[in-house]
Protein backbone atom coordinates (compact mmCIF):
# COMPACT_ATOMS: atom_id res chain seq x y z
CA UNK A 1 0.00 0.00 0.00
CA UNK A 2 1.35 3.44 -0.91
CA UNK A 3 1.58 5.76 2.07
CA UNK A 4 2.16 9.50 2.26
CA UNK A 5 2.55 12.00 5.08
CA UNK A 6 1.65 15.58 4.21
CA UNK A 7 2.18 18.61 6.47
CA UNK A 8 -0.99 20.69 6.15
CA UNK A 9 -1.85 24.34 6.87
CA UNK A 10 1.79 25.26 6.39
CA UNK A 11 4.27 25.93 3.59
CA UNK A 12 7.20 24.22 5.33
CA UNK A 13 8.02 20.79 6.69
CA UNK A 14 7.80 20.29 10.45
CA UNK A 15 5.04 22.89 10.64
CA UNK A 16 1.28 22.58 10.43
CA UNK A 17 -0.43 19.25 11.04
CA UNK A 18 0.92 16.01 9.54
CA UNK A 19 -1.70 13.64 8.09
CA UNK A 20 -1.26 10.15 6.77
CA UNK A 21 -2.83 9.37 3.39
CA UNK A 22 -3.47 5.86 2.02
CA UNK A 23 -5.00 5.50 -1.46
CA UNK A 24 -6.84 2.17 -1.76
CA UNK A 25 -8.08 0.16 -4.70
CA UNK A 26 -10.98 -1.13 -2.58
CA UNK A 27 -11.98 -0.95 1.06
CA UNK A 28 -10.18 -3.05 3.64
CA UNK A 29 -11.91 -4.22 6.83
CA UNK A 30 -12.50 -1.50 9.40
CA UNK A 31 -10.25 -3.31 11.87
CA UNK A 32 -7.37 -3.14 9.38
CA UNK A 33 -7.89 0.56 8.70
CA UNK A 34 -7.92 1.24 12.44
CA UNK A 35 -4.77 -0.85 12.97
CA UNK A 36 -2.95 1.12 10.27
CA UNK A 37 -4.02 4.45 11.80
CA UNK A 38 -2.95 3.25 15.24
CA UNK A 39 0.41 2.12 13.90
CA UNK A 40 0.91 5.44 12.08
CA UNK A 41 0.12 7.28 15.33
CA UNK A 42 -0.71 10.57 13.64
CA UNK A 43 -3.74 12.58 14.71
CA UNK A 44 -5.52 11.31 11.58
CA UNK A 45 -4.87 8.93 8.73
CA UNK A 46 -7.08 9.30 5.66
CA UNK A 47 -8.10 6.43 3.38
CA UNK A 48 -9.80 6.95 0.04
CA UNK A 49 -11.15 4.79 -2.77
CA UNK A 50 -11.73 6.15 -6.26
CA UNK A 51 -15.23 5.77 -7.65
CA UNK A 52 -16.61 7.03 -10.94
CA UNK A 53 -16.22 10.81 -10.76
CA UNK A 54 -15.60 11.03 -7.00
CA UNK A 55 -13.75 9.54 -4.03
CA UNK A 56 -15.01 7.83 -0.90
CA UNK A 57 -13.03 9.17 2.06
CA UNK A 58 -12.70 8.09 5.69
CA UNK A 59 -10.55 9.32 8.58
CA UNK A 60 -9.17 7.47 11.61
CA UNK A 61 -7.38 8.73 14.70
CA UNK A 62 -5.12 6.28 16.56
CA UNK A 63 -8.22 5.22 18.54
CA UNK A 64 -11.36 5.61 16.41
CA UNK A 65 -12.98 6.71 13.16
CA UNK A 66 -14.18 10.33 13.07
CA UNK A 67 -16.97 11.99 11.13
CA UNK A 68 -15.02 15.00 9.85
CA UNK A 69 -11.36 15.94 9.45
CA UNK A 70 -10.08 18.98 7.60
CA UNK A 71 -6.33 18.58 7.46
CA UNK A 72 -6.44 14.93 6.33
CA UNK A 73 -8.94 15.89 3.60
CA UNK A 74 -6.56 18.58 2.42
CA UNK A 75 -3.68 16.10 2.59
CA UNK A 76 -5.66 13.66 0.42
CA UNK A 77 -6.32 16.42 -2.10
CA UNK A 78 -2.63 17.32 -2.12
CA UNK A 79 -1.72 13.69 -2.96
CA UNK A 80 -4.32 13.51 -5.71
CA UNK A 81 -3.32 16.82 -7.27
CA UNK A 82 0.45 16.73 -6.88
CA UNK A 83 1.47 13.06 -6.81
CA UNK A 84 -1.28 11.11 -8.56
CA UNK A 85 -1.75 14.03 -10.98
CA UNK A 86 -5.53 13.91 -11.11
CA UNK A 87 -6.60 16.42 -13.76
CA UNK A 88 -9.72 17.74 -12.06
CA UNK A 89 -10.49 21.34 -11.17
CA UNK A 90 -12.56 20.18 -8.20
CA UNK A 91 -12.24 17.03 -6.13
CA UNK A 92 -15.42 15.53 -4.67
CA UNK A 93 -15.19 13.40 -1.53
CA UNK A 94 -18.14 11.44 -0.16
CA UNK A 95 -17.91 11.08 3.60
CA UNK A 96 -19.86 10.60 6.81
CA UNK A 97 -20.40 14.39 6.77
CA UNK A 98 -21.80 14.42 3.24
CA UNK A 99 -20.15 15.62 0.06
CA UNK A 100 -16.99 17.67 0.63
CA UNK A 101 -15.06 19.35 -2.15
CA UNK A 102 -11.53 20.70 -2.53
CA UNK A 103 -10.39 23.16 -5.19
CA UNK A 104 -7.06 24.74 -6.02
CA UNK A 105 -6.77 28.49 -5.53
CA UNK A 106 -4.14 31.15 -6.06
CA UNK A 107 -0.69 31.14 -4.45
CA UNK A 108 -0.73 27.42 -3.72
CA UNK A 109 -3.84 27.46 -1.56
CA UNK A 110 -6.18 24.49 -1.36
CA UNK A 111 -9.77 25.30 -0.40
CA UNK A 112 -11.99 22.93 1.56
CA UNK A 113 -15.77 23.32 1.24
CA UNK A 114 -17.16 22.09 4.57
CA UNK A 115 -20.44 22.32 6.51
CA UNK A 116 -20.82 25.28 8.86
CA UNK A 117 -21.28 24.23 12.48
CA UNK A 118 -22.28 27.33 14.48
CA UNK A 119 -22.50 26.83 18.21
CA UNK A 120 -25.19 27.78 20.72
CA UNK A 121 -24.51 29.36 24.10
CA UNK A 122 -23.86 26.79 26.82
CA UNK A 123 -22.98 26.68 30.50
CA UNK A 124 -19.53 26.76 32.03
CA UNK A 125 -19.24 23.07 32.64
CA UNK A 126 -17.43 22.31 35.92
CA UNK A 127 -14.88 20.14 34.12
CA UNK A 128 -13.90 23.10 31.87
CA UNK A 129 -13.38 25.40 34.86
CA UNK A 130 -11.25 22.79 36.61
CA UNK A 131 -9.31 21.66 33.53
CA UNK A 132 -8.27 25.17 32.44
CA UNK A 133 -8.19 26.94 35.81
CA UNK A 134 -10.19 29.84 34.36
CA UNK A 135 -13.27 31.71 35.52
CA UNK A 136 -13.68 34.31 32.76
CA UNK A 137 -14.71 32.65 29.51
CA UNK A 138 -17.79 31.87 27.45
CA UNK A 139 -18.90 28.51 26.12
CA UNK A 140 -20.70 27.50 22.94
CA UNK A 141 -21.80 23.96 22.09
CA UNK A 142 -21.61 22.57 18.56
CA UNK A 143 -20.14 19.36 17.17
CA UNK A 144 -17.24 20.35 19.44
CA UNK A 145 -17.16 22.60 22.52
CA UNK A 146 -16.02 26.17 21.84
CA UNK A 147 -14.43 28.14 24.67
CA UNK A 148 -13.80 31.86 24.12
CA UNK A 149 -11.17 33.44 26.37
CA UNK A 150 -10.23 37.07 26.99
CA UNK A 151 -7.19 37.44 24.77
CA UNK A 152 -4.35 35.72 22.96
CA UNK A 153 -2.06 35.80 25.99
CA UNK A 154 -4.56 33.77 28.02
CA UNK A 155 -4.85 31.27 25.19
CA UNK A 156 -1.09 30.86 24.89
CA UNK A 157 -0.68 30.31 28.63
CA UNK A 158 -3.15 27.43 28.95
CA UNK A 159 -1.83 24.16 30.40
CA UNK A 160 -4.92 21.96 30.64
CA UNK A 161 -5.38 19.06 33.01
CA UNK A 162 -6.14 16.47 30.34
CA UNK A 163 -7.55 13.87 32.73
CA UNK A 164 -10.14 16.40 33.85
CA UNK A 165 -10.72 17.64 30.30
CA UNK A 166 -11.83 14.14 29.32
CA UNK A 167 -14.88 14.65 31.55
CA UNK A 168 -16.23 17.48 29.39
CA UNK A 169 -17.90 15.02 27.02
CA UNK A 170 -19.98 13.60 29.88
CA UNK A 171 -20.72 17.00 31.46
CA UNK A 172 -21.85 18.42 28.11
CA UNK A 173 -23.72 15.24 27.11
CA UNK A 174 -21.81 15.08 23.83
CA UNK A 175 -22.13 12.08 21.49
CA UNK A 176 -19.14 9.79 21.09
CA UNK A 177 -18.18 11.23 17.69
CA UNK A 178 -17.94 14.76 19.14
CA UNK A 179 -14.72 14.88 21.05
CA UNK A 180 -12.92 18.24 20.79
CA UNK A 181 -12.58 21.34 22.94
CA UNK A 182 -11.69 24.43 20.91
CA UNK A 183 -10.29 27.44 22.77
CA UNK A 184 -10.15 30.74 20.89
CA UNK A 185 -9.45 34.46 21.23
CA UNK A 186 -9.15 37.46 18.95
CA UNK A 187 -5.74 37.53 17.29
CA UNK A 188 -3.04 40.16 17.51
CA UNK A 189 -1.83 39.75 13.90
CA UNK A 190 -4.82 37.91 12.40
CA UNK A 191 -8.56 37.86 12.97
CA UNK A 192 -8.58 35.02 15.50
CA UNK A 193 -6.38 32.36 17.05
CA UNK A 194 -7.20 28.99 18.53
CA UNK A 195 -6.01 25.76 20.12
CA UNK A 196 -7.70 22.35 19.95
CA UNK A 197 -7.69 19.61 22.60
CA UNK A 198 -9.02 16.06 22.14
CA UNK A 199 -7.69 13.83 24.95
CA UNK A 200 -10.67 11.47 24.67
CA UNK A 201 -9.25 10.09 21.41
CA UNK A 202 -5.60 10.16 22.41
CA UNK A 203 -4.78 13.62 21.00
CA UNK A 204 -4.02 15.93 23.90
CA UNK A 205 -3.42 18.90 21.57
CA UNK A 206 -3.90 18.80 17.83
CA UNK A 207 -1.40 20.94 15.88
CA UNK A 208 -3.87 22.46 13.37
CA UNK A 209 -7.51 21.46 13.08
CA UNK A 210 -9.62 21.98 9.97
CA UNK A 211 -12.91 20.78 11.51
CA UNK A 212 -12.57 23.29 14.35
CA UNK A 213 -12.86 26.10 11.81
CA UNK A 214 -16.35 24.89 10.88
CA UNK A 215 -17.26 26.18 14.36
CA UNK A 216 -14.80 29.06 14.59
CA UNK A 217 -15.63 30.65 11.23
CA UNK A 218 -19.33 31.38 11.87
CA UNK A 219 -18.56 32.59 15.42
CA UNK A 220 -15.87 35.07 14.42
CA UNK A 221 -17.64 36.11 11.23
CA UNK A 222 -20.65 37.20 13.28
CA UNK A 223 -18.58 38.77 16.06
CA UNK A 224 -16.25 40.72 13.75
CA UNK A 225 -18.84 41.49 11.05
CA UNK A 226 -16.79 40.09 8.17
CA UNK A 227 -17.00 36.99 5.99
CA UNK A 228 -13.34 36.57 5.01
CA UNK A 229 -11.00 35.93 7.92
CA UNK A 230 -7.42 34.94 8.64
CA UNK A 231 -6.53 32.63 11.50
CA UNK A 232 -3.64 30.91 13.23
CA UNK A 233 -3.57 27.86 15.48
CA UNK A 234 -1.15 28.37 18.33
CA UNK A 235 0.21 24.88 18.80
CA UNK A 236 3.93 24.20 19.00
CA UNK A 237 4.03 23.42 15.25
CA UNK A 238 1.67 26.27 14.37
CA UNK A 239 -0.51 26.72 11.35
CA UNK A 240 -2.10 29.39 9.15
CA UNK A 241 -5.68 29.17 7.91
CA UNK A 242 -7.86 31.30 5.62
CA UNK A 243 -11.62 31.17 6.22
CA UNK A 244 -14.75 32.30 4.39
CA UNK A 245 -18.23 32.28 5.89
CA UNK A 246 -20.74 31.29 3.20
CA UNK A 247 -23.81 30.70 5.33
CA UNK A 248 -24.50 26.97 5.55
CA UNK A 249 -20.98 26.24 4.27
CA UNK A 250 -17.51 27.45 5.17
CA UNK A 251 -14.42 27.60 2.97
CA UNK A 252 -11.20 26.69 4.75
CA UNK A 253 -7.97 27.46 2.91
CA UNK A 254 -4.42 26.38 3.52
CA UNK A 255 -1.15 25.24 2.03
CA UNK A 256 0.47 21.81 2.22
CA UNK A 257 3.85 20.20 1.66
CA UNK A 258 4.90 16.55 1.26
CA UNK A 259 6.98 15.10 4.10
CA UNK A 260 7.11 11.36 3.41
CA UNK A 261 6.44 8.92 0.58
CA UNK A 262 6.63 5.20 1.26
CA UNK A 263 4.97 1.81 1.34
CA UNK A 264 3.12 -0.01 4.10
CA UNK A 265 4.24 -3.65 4.07
CA UNK A 266 1.91 -5.14 6.68
CA UNK A 267 0.03 -8.30 5.73
CA UNK A 268 -3.76 -8.03 5.43
CA UNK A 269 -4.16 -9.81 2.11
CA UNK A 270 -6.31 -12.66 3.47
CA UNK A 271 -8.79 -10.54 5.38
CA UNK A 272 -12.22 -9.98 3.80
CA UNK A 273 -12.73 -6.56 2.22
CA UNK A 274 -15.60 -4.22 3.01
CA UNK A 275 -18.10 -3.89 0.15
Q: Contact, 215 vs 141, CB < 8 A?
A: no
State the pLDDT at residue 271: 53
Active site residue 50: no
Q: Contact, 139 vs 186, CB < 8 A?
A: no
CA-nearest of 177, 241, 185, 179 to 209 is 241
CA-nearest of 50, 51, 115, 68 to 59 is 68
Among the listed residues 31, 39, 44, 138, the single catalytic one is 44
What does each of the 275 residues of the chain score in pLDDT, given as a tens digit? Answer: 999 999 999 999 999 999 999 999 999 999 999 999 999 999 999 999 999 989 999 999 998 999 889 999 999 999 999 999 998 989 999 999 999 999 999 988 999 999 999 999 999 999 999 999 998 999 999 989 999 999 999 999 999 999 999 999 889 888 765 578 999 999 999 999 999 999 987 889 999 999 999 999 999 999 999 999 999 999 999 999 999 999 999 999 999 999 999 999 987 655 555 54
State the pLDDT at residue 173: 86
State the pLDDT at residue 275: 45
Question: Would you call 138 helix, strand, or coil by DSSP?
Answer: strand
d(CA 171, CA 70): 26
CA-nearest of 204, 217, 209 to 158 is 204
What residues form DSSP beta bridges with 92? 101
Domains of the chain, first to last: 2-104+256-263 (3.10.310.10), 120-247 (3.10.310.10)
CA-nearest of 45, 17, 66, 7 to 209 is 17
Amino acid sequence: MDYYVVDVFTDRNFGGNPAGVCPLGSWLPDETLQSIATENNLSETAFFVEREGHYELRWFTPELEVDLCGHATMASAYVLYNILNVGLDELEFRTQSGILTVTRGDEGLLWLDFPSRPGVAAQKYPSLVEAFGLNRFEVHKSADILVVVENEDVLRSLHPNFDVLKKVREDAEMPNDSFGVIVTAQGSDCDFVSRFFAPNVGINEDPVTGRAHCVLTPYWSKRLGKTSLTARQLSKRGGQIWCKDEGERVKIGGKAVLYLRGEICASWRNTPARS
